[in-house]
């Protein structure tokens, strides 16, 4: 009999990885090596089931999956849209829910009602550009930031921001509001296109179990 090859999972470091492992545990996919939170190991193996797991920064998950360094990945829809990789998005896992929104001071709402150029600060230039160019037909100057996006309108760097809103607390505490919603976000499972064919049976089994 042909020996089973390893199926490799790339998970997004942090809360999303914890939730993903919780969900995988429920369908019998476990990795005891990962339970030791003090470990500095990078790859975790379940020899019996021939599974490997590693943790990566969200934006790197689609990269690993596209290149086949991981067969399966779990990350946010925001990252999948922004990275725009050649991978299959196979399942909405339903957790990590939030919204991609255009936010700013209430007075900035008026700037979104016509087509004049505005400045938009964001960690997601592709999503912001697509929304303004293709949905709103508005010319925008995109300013790429790497975090604390809410600062931008406050210090006068941009008119509005395109960012993730979860509880809305960051906006509220800084006098900002949601002006428009771009799309809902949640954690998604993605699969390498070749793996989906070569390991179809094992991967489909996992997808079906998680769907239930």
Where on the chain is the footprint of ligand PRP (CB under 6 A)? 147-150, 163-170
Indicate the residue among 147 and 156 with the shorter CB distance to ligand PRP. Answer: 147
Question: What's the chain's length in residues?
Answer: 212
What is the DSSP secondary structure assignment for residue 136, as one 8-state letter?
S
CB of 164 to ligand PRP, least distance (A): 4
Indicate the residue among 72 and 164 with the shorter CB distance to ligand PRP. Answer: 164
- Residue 62 and residue 89 in contact, taking contact as beta carbons nearer than 8 Å: no
Indicate the residue among 151 and 198 with the shorter CB distance to ligand PRP. Answer: 151
Cβ-closest position to ligand PRP = 147
Indicate the residue among 13 and 50 with the shorter CB distance to ligand PRP. Answer: 13
CB of 150 to ligand PRP, least distance (A): 6
Q: What is the side-by-side strand order in the sheet with 187-191?
A: 43-46, 51-56, 7-12, 72-76, 187-191, 88-92
Q: How many helices (H) and strands (E) does the chain have?
A: 8, 11
CB of 103 to ligand PRP, least distance (A): 9
CB of 182 to ligand PRP, least distance (A): 13
Indicate the residue among 78 and 159 with the shorter CB distance to ligand PRP. Answer: 78
CB of 206 to ligand PRP, least distance (A): 28
* Biggest CA-to-CA distance, the chain: 68
State how far the Cα of 171 lies from the Cα of 105, in Å rounded to an integer. Answer: 9
Q: Is 157 helix (H, G, I), strand (E, B) or coil?
A: coil
């Amino acid at each position: 009999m042909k020996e089973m090859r390893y199926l490799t999972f790339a998970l997004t470091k942090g809360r999303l990885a914890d939730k993903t492992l919780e969900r995988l545990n429920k369908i019998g996919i476990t990795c005891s090596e990962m339970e030791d939170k003090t470990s500095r190991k990078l790859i975790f193996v379940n020899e019996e089931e021939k599974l490997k797991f590693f943790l990566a920064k969200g934006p790197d998950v689609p990269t690993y999956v596209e290149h086949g360094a991981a067969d399966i990945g779990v990350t946010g829809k925001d990252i999948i849209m922004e990275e725009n990789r050649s991978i299959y998005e196979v399942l909405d896992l339903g957790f990590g829910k939030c919204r991609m929104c255009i936010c700013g001071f209430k007075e900035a709402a008026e700037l979104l009602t016509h087509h004049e150029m505005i400045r938009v600060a964001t960690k997601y230039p592709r999503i912001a550009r697509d929304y303004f160019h293709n949905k709103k037909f508005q010319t925008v100057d995109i300013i790429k930031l790497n975090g604390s996006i809410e600062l931008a309108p406050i210090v006068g760097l941009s008119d509005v921001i395109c960012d993730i809103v979860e509880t809305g607390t960051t906006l509220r505490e800084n006098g900002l509001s949601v002006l428009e919603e771009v799309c809902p976000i949640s954690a998604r499972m993605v699969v390498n296109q070749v793996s989906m064919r070569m390991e179809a049976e094992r991967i489909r089994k996992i997808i079906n179990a998680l769907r239930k």
